[in-house]
Every structure is written in structure tokens, then in C-alpha cells.
Amino acid sequence: MHILGIESSCDETAAAVVRDGREVLSNVIASQVDLHARYGGVVPELASRHHIEAVAPVILQALDDAGVSLEKIDGIAVTRGPGLIGSLLVGLAAAKALAFARRIPFAGVNHLEGHIASVFLTDTPPEFPFIALVVSGGHTTIFLVEGFHRFRVLGQTRDDAAGEAFDKAAKILDIGYPGGVVIDRLAKQGNTAAIAFPRAMREGLDFSFSGLKTALLMHVKRRAGAIAPEEMCDLAASYQEAIVDVLVEKTFRAAEQIAVARIVVCGGVAANSRLRERFRRKAELAGVRFTVPPPVLCTDNAAMIAVVGGHCLAEGHRDCLDLNAVSRWPVACP
């Protein structure tokens, strides 16, 4: 079965062709990083306009790269939510148009479920059940994943997502956008113990990052904004370590409490090199199987959407052409 996936939940326009839920034939991503960099974050109106311009060329490129024509596509999977409503509507409209024109089924997919499903595109996908940490610009949640569409929330952020904490820190420090990428690069040359940033909510499985951002802001204000280049690396390393510490600690705590020896980390922040290193090291010591997708499948992409959509269609699920986008959509809720 050939599934065409379409993703447009935020600021990447993506399309992919996946065969039989495992083989990625193409995975095209049109980034808007340069467009939004001057504002230090995503501007929703600009994002949706850019999606309109990019969606058709990206879909055609995905089909061309896969060597597959629309006549060979058996179904379409598209991100329905959560995300920026204007951006979501562009991808959803494109999916509906193709489904109607070709008289093929389509399925609306939860973006977070797509991130979790990205691990099934790795060489050695985990068996159910497993613990999944979904960590991105908008989400930081620990799930118990017992099967497709079978999730239980074990812990989640009470305020800001980890990815947002990275982006806001980069804005405070005026070091560029996207913040996570810049901080990851600087941190490789810094001392993780140089500055004692707080680790909030050490007990339990929920997260909080707002206090960490405030601590960074207060540190910069005390220095009157005068941070030397060599100090910036220590600052980035220490701040990043504070985020990584709690992500690793709480995810492994969840695995221990549920007695599951399989951990998955996915979402945009899962591309962070320090996070991947710390999880791998801890997993080896704890005897836990750790799976993380390659960086290209951590960021928003359409291959992961095609995996979930293909599973839905194989089970006989079909969405109607009046399906609407939703900005908020908890995983596993209709």
C-alpha cells in the first residue's frame, strides 16, 4: 500500500510517500526557518501563506522522488491537528482535493501520534508497550504507548514545552533562531556545570520550565546583558543541561514505575545531540532499550503522518470531506 502523507501543522510544508507503513520512498520538507528568523519565532499568518505557495510543489516533488504517480497512491494521510489552525487548513484542503479528484480514501492524523509513529520507520522499531517522551516546541509529554491509538498520559508540562524554553532562551540571549539548534551548537564548547540553573518539580512525572527561563533572564539582567563569547558557551551548556536532566530523569522514572524496559524519544527536541547522548548512556546503564528516530524524522515531517494514516486506512477508517482542522487535539481522543 502506497500512502501519501501531508504535514503542515506549523512552519514546515512536508509530503512523503511511504510503502506498507515501513519503507520511506520519499520525504520532502520545505522549511520556513529563514522566513521567521527575523521575528525570532513563527508568525502564524506568514506561515499559512507560505504553506499555500509550497504545498503543491512539495507534493509533486514527493511523488517524483518516490517514482510513484498519483494513480499508484492508495490513500492519503494528512495532519488534522494539533497545530496552527491556518497552517493545518492548507494541508487538509490539499488532501481533500486529491482524495476527491482521485476517488481515494484519506485520514486525518494526530500530529503527536505521528511523532510517536516515527520510530516505526527506524531499522529496529520497538515492540508495544513502550514509554514515549514527545518533546518539541509545543509539547513535552510522557506516554505509555500500548498500541496504535492506545495511549496513556503519565506526565506533561504544566507550563512551557522544552522546545519553547530553548527558543525563548535564545531570544533572551539574542543568539539566533531556531533556538534549540543554536544552543545545542554552543553547548558543545561549554561547561555543563558552570551555572547552577534550577531543576523544577523534581518529584513526580510532570514538567515545568517557566522558572528556568526566569532564572536565565535574571542571570542576564544581573550581568547587564554583557555576556562574553566564551561565557555564552558555558551559559548555553548549563541551561541545556538543566532541561535535559529533568527529561531524562522523569522518563526513566516513568519506565521504572510502569515496569517497561523500552523507551522512545521523539519530536523536534529529540534531535538535540546532548539529549540523545544522555538517553543512550542512561539506557545502557539501566538495561533499557532506547529508540530515537534519525534527526530528519524528529522534526515535523510527512513520513510519520503517512505511517499513522496508513494504519487507520488499513483498519477501514475513512474520513469525510467535511473533516475540519483542530488546533487542540489530545492524543487518542476523537
pLDDT bin (cut points 50, 70, 90) of residue 322 is very high
pLDDT at site 223: 78
Of residues 283 and 222, more confidence is placed in 283
Residues 225-239 pLDDT 10s: 678 877 999 999 999
pLDDT at 332 over 70: no
Residue written as cell 529533568? 246
Residues 76-130 pLDDT 10s: 999 999 999 999 999 999 999 999 999 999 999 999 999 999 999 999 999 999 9
The C-alpha angle with vertex 115 and arms to 111 and 117, in degrees rounded to 5, equals 110
Residues 3-57 pLDDT 10s: 999 999 999 999 999 999 999 999 999 999 999 988 888 999 999 999 999 999 9
All 3 cell numbers of residue 79?
495532519
d(CA 137, CA 140): 8
Largest CA distance in the chain: 63
Domains for the chain: give ranges and CATH numbers.
2-117+297-314 (3.30.420.40), 128-292 (3.30.420.40)
Percent helix, percent strand, percent coil in the chain, to nearest 5? 45, 20, 35
Question: Average pLDDT in the 147-174 region?
Answer: 94
pLDDT at 256 over 50: yes
Strands 130-135 and 106-110: unpaired
Of residues 230 and 203, more confidence is placed in 203
Q: What percentage of the chain carries pLDDT values higher than 70?
A: 99
Residues 260-311 pLDDT 10s: 999 999 999 999 999 999 999 999 999 999 999 999 999 999 999 999 999 9
pLDDT at 333 over 70: no
Q: What percentage of the chain carries pLDDT values higher than 90?
A: 91
pLDDT bin (cut points 50, 70, 90) of residue 334 is very low
